[in-house]
Amino acid sequence: MKRFDYHRAASPADAIAASAADGAVVLGGGTNLLDLMKGNVVRPDRLVDVTHLSGLDRIETLPDGSTRIGALVRNGDLAHDAAFARTYPAVAEALLSGASAQLRNAATTGGNLLQRTRCPYFTDGVSACNKREPGSGCDAIGGETRLHAVLGWSDSCIAVQPSDFCVPLAALGATVEIEGKAGARSVPLVEFHRLPGDEPWRETVLEAGDLVTAVVLPADAAGFAGHSRYLKVRDRTSYAFAVVSAAAALRLDGDRIADARLAFGGVALKPWRSRKAEAVLVGQPATVETFRRAAEAAMADAKPSGDNSYKIELARRIAVRAFTLALAGTPERVSALPASPFSSPLGVAAHA
C-alpha cells in the first residue's frame, strides 16, 4: 500500500479545506475505499477522516415533513430505525439486501453514494481502465461483459454503479446536500452520479473539497409507503451485488394508478430512474399488463455492451415482478431474505 498522510477533520470547514488538496480523499466507513487502497487500485496522498464530525449522524424529520439522513448515519442503523422503515420500506429493504450485517454496521450514507464500481477491469489494478487511469482505454469492452451496463454506457466505459441504497432513493426523488468551498447546495440524486461519456473518471458532480453532508427524502415519498418494494436478482442469495435490481412504488386511486415510481440498479453507471415507465403507468389500471407496458418503455433505449443482452429482458421482468409485489402491499415484516425474488413476503421481524 502506498504511504499516505492522515488528517482527522475537526469540523466540516476543516474537512472541506483538507480534502481540496490534490490527492486527498474523504474517509467515512472505509468499507470500499480501504479495500481499493490495499489492492493499489486507489492511491491517495491523504485521507481526510470525517467520522468524528458532530451532527452528521442523525436521522431527522424536517418541518416540511421530509426526512434528512446525515452522511455519517450507518446503513444498519438506518435500516433498523423503525419509524424510517415504516415510512420508506423500499429503502430499508434495499439496505438490508446489501453486503453483510458487519459491513452495514460500518458503512455510511455518504460512503454508500460514493462507492466505486465493482467492474473487475477496474478493481484488478492491471487491466486498462479509463476510470482508474484516464485515457488508458477500457479492457472491459470486448471482454467479459455479463454484468456490465445496458443503459447510458459509452465507448470509454461500460461499468455499472453498485449501490442498492441509491436505487429506491432515485425512485423516491431524494436529494443530496453538499457543502464546499463555494457554500452549500442541493442536487437531485438522479443528477449526482455522472454517466461515463468521454470522462468516466468523473463519477459524480462533486468538485475538489466538496463534502456530502446529508441525503433528504421528500415528504411526498411517504405516500408510497403502503405499496413499495425493492427487488434484487444476484448470482447468490446474499452478500452479492445486483445483476439487476428495481425499486417500484405505487400510489393508488381505487383500481387505478395515481402515481408511480421506478428505478433500476445494475444497468448503468448511475441508479436509473425511468420517467418513461412512470408516465405509462399514471392513470392506468393496476394490472400486470400495464406493468408490462411500463417495463417495455423503461428498456426502450437499452442496448447490450457485449454479451449481456439478457439483462434487458431480466430488467423488464424484474420491473413487472416488483410492481406486482408493490400492488399486493408492503409487508409488515421484511423478509428473511430481503429483496430476494425467491423469498416469501413474510419473514423474521426486521425491527424487533
Q: How many CB atoms lie within 10 A of CB 140?
A: 27
Cell digits for 197?
461519456
What's the pLDDT tens digit per position in 12-32?
999 999 999 999 999 999 999
- CATH says 5-52 is which class? alpha beta
Pick the more confident residue, 347 or 98.
Answer: 98
Percent of residues in the chain assigned helix, strand, coil, to nearest 5: 30, 20, 50
Distance CA 133, CA 125 (A): 10
Q: Are 237 and 337 in contact (CB under 8 A)?
A: yes
Burial class (CB in 10 A: 0-12, 13-18, 19+), 24: buried
Strand-pair partners of 259: 251
Identify the sign of the CA torsion 82, 84, 86, 88: negative
Residue 345 confidence class, pLDDT cut points 50, 70, 90: low
Which DSSP letter does residue 219 get? G
**Mean pLDDT computed over 193-200:** 98
**The pLDDT value given to residue 352:** 36
Pick the more confident residue, 51 or 1.
Answer: 51
**What is the signed CA dihedral for 101, 103, 173, 230, rounded to 10 degrees?**
-40
Percent over 70 (pLDDT), the chain:
98
Q: Where are the alpha helices (DSSP H) in 172-307?
A: 189-192, 275-281, 288-298
pLDDT at residue 185 tops 90:
yes
Q: How far is CA 138 from the centre of its chain?
A: 23
Distance CA 228, CA 93 (A): 10
**Mean pLDDT computed over 128-157:** 98
**Mean pLDDT computed over 24-46:** 96
Measured CA to CA in angstroms, residue 110 lies from 24, 55, 74, 234 at distances of 16, 14, 9, 24
pLDDT at residue 351 tops 70:
no
Distance CA 47, CA 44 (A): 7
Q: Give the containing element (helix H, strand E) for 46.
A: strand 46-49
**Mean pLDDT computed over 20-49:** 96
pTM above 0.75, yes or no: yes
Does 5-52 match 223-328 in CATH topology? Answer: no
pLDDT at residue 332 tops 90:
no
What's the pLDDT tens digit per position in 262-314?
999 999 999 999 999 999 999 999 999 999 999 999 999 999 999 999 999 99
Task: Sheet containing 24-27: give its strands across.
Answer: 5-8, 46-49, 24-27
What's the pLDDT tens digit per position in 216-244?
999 999 999 999 999 999 999 888 999 99
Indicate the CATH number for domain 223-328.
3.30.390.50
Burial class (CB in 10 A: 0-12, 13-18, 19+), 184: exposed
**The pLDDT value given to residue 1:** 78
| Ranges of each domain in the chain | 5-52, 223-328
